[in-house]
């Protein structure tokens, strides 16, 4: 009989796990000795906060990057095929959502391995919840282009799509480019478009601000520099 692949949400930053994660998630994680992770260093740091019954150095922790393609993903799942329960862990948030873990989940389904998603923080959903925007119709776009001209064109497309489909549009940015993103938002988006910027979700410095796009031209954007952020817009 195959083992189970547990999808274990990680914290979104430095916070006690019991402040964010439910008991079921922490209990399930503590029972696992085999892990597939996005980054081993980040995984060890997270597992170290959980009071694991086994020393972290004795856990089997394998990086997603160590395998690719169908054969590689199948190799990652060998312990589960041999009856051992496993955990899949992102660097932050929920496995398979805005991270490469989905390929392992798909491989588990192909192999007939039971997949169990555990409850934990998703910055994308937390931002949408707090935005007051359309939770019935929304789209997530990951990262927008880095170069200013391409980024501004992408923002204009998202605004048009939001108007056309009455959708909330969600995207993320590398923290050190938050200020450039907000400058583009203030420059490109119209007065009728609401913009939500959600930073440091679940952390002590958490902030969720919603304002019309032009209002971001006059705000102190420096306070958003190098902070994990989710952006939600709706026209």
Residue 5: pLDDT band by 50, 70, 90 thresholds?
A: very high
The proportion of the chain whose per-residue pLDDT surpasses 70, expressed as a percent, equals 100
Cα torsion 168, 169, 171, 177 to 10°: value is -100
CA 93/CA 81 separation, integer angstroms: 26
Summarize pLDDT for 60-79 with one digit per residue, the tens.
Answer: 999 998 877 888 988 999 99
Q: Which tens digit of pLDDT belongs to each residue from 133-151? A: 999 999 999 999 999 999 9
The strand pairing partners of 62, in sequence order, are 36
pLDDT at res. 117? 98
* Mean pLDDT, all residues of the chain: 96
Report d(CA 182, CA 163) in Å as an integer.
Answer: 20
What predicted TM-score, i.e. pTM, was given to this entire model? Answer: 0.93
* Best CA proximity match to 32, nearest among 50, 15, 13, 14: 50
Task: Summarize pLDDT for 92-118 with one digit per residue, the tens.
Answer: 999 999 888 999 999 999 999 999 999
CB 165 within 8 A of CB 97: no
The percentage of residues in the chain with a pLDDT greater than 90, rounded to a whole number, is 94
Q: Does residue 1 have a pLDDT over 90?
A: no
Residue 10 reports pLDDT greater than 90: yes
**pLDDT tens digits, residue range 158-180?**
999 999 999 999 999 999 999 99
Higher pLDDT residue, 212 or 71? 212
Q: What is the DSSP string of the chain?
A: ---EEEEEPBPSSSS-GGGTS-HHHHHHHHT--EEEES-HHHHHHHHHTTT-SS-GGGSEEEEGGG--HHHHHHHHTHHHHTT--EEEE-SSB-TTSSSTTHHHHHHHHHTT-EEEEPP---HHHHHHHHHTS-SSSEEEEEEPPSSHHHHHHHHHHHHHHHHHHT-EEEEEE-GGGHHHHHHHHHHHS-TT-EEEEEESTTSTT-EEEEEEGGGGGSS-GGGGTTS-EEEEEE-
């Amino acid at each position: 009989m195959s083992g189970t692949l547990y999808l274990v949400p990680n914290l979104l930053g430095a916070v006690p796990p019991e402040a964010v994660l439910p008991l079921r998630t922490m209990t399930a994680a503590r029972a696992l000795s085999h892990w597939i992770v996005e980054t081993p260093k980040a995984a060890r740091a997270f597992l170290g906060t959980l009071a694991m019954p086994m020393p972290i150095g004795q856990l089997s922790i394998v990086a997603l990057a160590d395998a690719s393609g169908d054969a590689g993903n199948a190799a990652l799942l060998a312990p589960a095929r041999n009856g051992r329960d496993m955990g899949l862990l992102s660097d932050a948030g929920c496995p398979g959502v805005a991270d490469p873990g989905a390929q392992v989940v798909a491989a588990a389904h192909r192999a007939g391995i039971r997949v169990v998603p555990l409850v934990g923080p998703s910055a994308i959903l937390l931002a949408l919840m707090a935005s007051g925007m359309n939770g019935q119709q929304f789209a997530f776009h990951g990262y927008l282009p880095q170069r200013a001209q391409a980024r501004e064109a992408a923002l204009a497309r998202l605004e048009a799509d939001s108007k056309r489909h009455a959708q909330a549009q969600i995207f993320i940015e590398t923290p050190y480019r938050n200020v450039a993103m907000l400058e583009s938002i203030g420059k490109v988006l119209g007065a009728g478009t609401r913009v939500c910027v959600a930073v440091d979700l679940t952390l002590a410095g958490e902030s969720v601000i919603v304002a019309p796009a032009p209002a971001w031209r006059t705000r102190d954007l420096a306070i958003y520099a190098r902070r994990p952020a989710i952006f939600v817009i709706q026209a």
